[in-house]
Amino acid sequence: MADREVTLSIFRFDPEKDKEGRFVDYKVPTVEGMVVLDAVRYVQEKIDTTLAIRWNCKAARCGSCSAEINNRPALMCKTRIDTLGDRITVAPMRAFPVIRDLVTDVDENYRIMSKIPKFTVRKELMNPEAEGKKHQDVWRIQQINVERAKEFKKCIECFLCQDVCHVVREHKSGYFGPRHIVKAASLDMHPLDIVNRAKFLNEEGGLGYCNITKCCQEVCPEHIHITDNAIIPEKERAVDLQYDPLMHAIKRRLMK
């Protein structure tokens, strides 16, 4: 039995017909426990089958149903209708080009990902037997290091953090964006990895443009401390690389 009726105001855009998109209102009956994705699928199944949406798991695991619900980046499958008012707007993520209706083109993220230096270990680790060592001995890492990177591994690549970041959205500065700093930080924090990505993030990834507003970590559905645990440590590493106090002291002494 329907609990109440809500008005879903959904952004519609058909690249073959429209120059720009518009919001269209739909009346949707709700039931207890219903999420925004259920309501949008109701519209697609019962009212207008041409509505384009992207979703897969309906369990907040695949990261594909990202949208802006009442102007806030969120997963449609994780946002309950009973936490919202009687009028709900659903729009595509603003940081990415719209393909159709609620579906955006997030390809740029995969291009950025392919630029981040890969996980790299010392050559000996790839073939420990050649040096008479056991694989499980040289690849052993402390539990504390496992725990540290675990948080970053929870990322479901929903790109909501990219969407909310004003630097990614507005300035088109070339800043890679929070999701990609998380990825780089997870590699940099691995004790067997020998690459330091901070300099690269600073010079190629525009890390300096992030002014630590923390909006990214506020919208992350996995509650990853994006700014505190990934961005700030990478910024600190970048500063350390530029300013080595020991080298600075040696140079000053030589100049005397």
Interatomic CA distance for residues 209 and 26, integer angstroms: 40
Cα distance between residue 195 and residue 125, in whole Å: 15
Q: Which stretch binds ligand F3S (CB under 6 A): 49-57, 164-172, 187-195, 236-244?
A: 164-172
Q: How far is CA 72 from CA 23, 67, 216, in A?
A: 16, 8, 11
Answer for which of 222, 231, 234, 235 binds ligand SF4 (CB under 6 A) is 222
Q: Does position 181 bind ligand SF4 by CB under 6 A? A: no
Give least dist CB 65 to ligand FES, A.
3
Tally the residues of the chain.
256
Of 8, 156, 168, 184, the one binding ligand SF4 (CB under 6 A) is 156
Select the binding partner of residue 47 from ligand F3S, ligand FES, ligand SF4, none (C-beta < 5 to 8 A, by kind). Answer: none
Are the C-beta atoms of 1 and 14 separated by less than 8 Å? no
x/- track of binding to ligand FES for residues 36-75 (CB under 6 A): -------------------xxxx-xxxxxx---------x
Binding partner of residue 52 among ligand SF4, ligand FES, ligand F3S, none, CB cut-off 5 to 8 Å per kind:
none
Among residues 40, 53, 216, 220, which is the contact residue for ligand F3S, using CB under 6 A?
216
Query: In a 3-state reduction of DSSP, which class is residue 213?
Result: coil
**Biggest distance spanned by C-alpha atoms of the chain:** 85
- Which run of H or E residues covers position 181? helix 178-188
Among ligand FES, ligand SF4, ligand F3S, none, partner that 160 touches (CB below 5 to 8 angstroms by kind) = ligand SF4
74: left (phi over 0), alpha (psi -120 to 50) or beta: beta
Whole-number Å distance between alpha carbons of 141 and 118 = 19
Question: 231 is in the binding site of which of ligand SF4, ligand F3S, ligand FES, none (Cβ under 5 to 8 A by kind)?
Answer: ligand F3S
**Residue of 202, 226, 204, 203 whose CA lies nearest to 213:** 226
Which among 139, 141, 137, 226 has a CA at the least distance from the CA of 177? Answer: 226
What is the binding site for ligand F3S (CB under 6 A)?
Answer: 164-165, 167, 178, 210-216, 227, 231
Kindly list the residues in this chain that would bind ligand FES in the complex (CB under 6 A).
Answer: 55-58, 60-65, 75, 77
Residues of the shown chain interacting with ligand SF4 in the complex, contacts defined by CB under 6 A? 155-161, 178-179, 182, 220-222, 224, 226
